[in-house]
């Protein structure tokens, strides 16, 4: 979905990848990767979603390989955990503003996955 929406808007507005990159705040090579359907980071998805006028969850759901999209699963989890939602919201804002690298959240997720596997193996 991201690749299609991005390519369509670029054509409709007669914009090059370089011009879109300048408008969105990412490199033109990142725009080219997104337009080809390659993976891009969360910060880029957030910025592109604003430019495309769609919710980031819409783009994330389209990239998920599950029947219920990843963003939908995360939304359910966060709706039952307000503190987790607040903390994750702060982290997402920091990534979107370029204050922290997405790899930090990936490290946290990797640690959480490790802890989950330990908890399951001890049951």
Model pTM score: 0.56
The pLDDT tens digits for 10-26 are 999 999 999 999 999 99
Cα–Cα dist 12/10, whole Å: 6
The pLDDT tens digits for 4-14 are 999 999 999 99
CATH 3.40.50.300 at 1-65, yes or no? no
The pLDDT tens digits for 56-87 are 877 776 766 555 666 666 776 777 788 888 98
Task: Quote the pLDDT of residue 67.
Answer: 57
Q: Where are the domains of the chain?
A: 1-65, 80-123
Q: Within 10 Å of residue 17's Cβ, how many Cβ atoms? A: 19
């Amino acid at each position: 979905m991201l690749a299609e929406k991005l390519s369509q808007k670029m054509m409709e507005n007669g914009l090059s990848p370089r011009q879109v990159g300048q408008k969105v705040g990412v490199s033109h090579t990142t725009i080219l990767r997104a337009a080809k359907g390659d993976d891009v980071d969360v910060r880029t998805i957030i910025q592109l979603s604003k430019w495309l006028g769609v919710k980031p969850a819409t783009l994330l759901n389209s990239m998920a390989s599950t029947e219920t999209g990843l963003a939908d699963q995360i939304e359910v989890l966060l709706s039952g955990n307000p503190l987790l939602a607040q903390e994750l919201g702060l982290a997402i804002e920091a990534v979107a503003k370029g204050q922290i690298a997405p790899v930090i959240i990936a490290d946290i997720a990797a640690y959480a996955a490790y802890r989950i596997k330990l908890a399951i193996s001890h049951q």
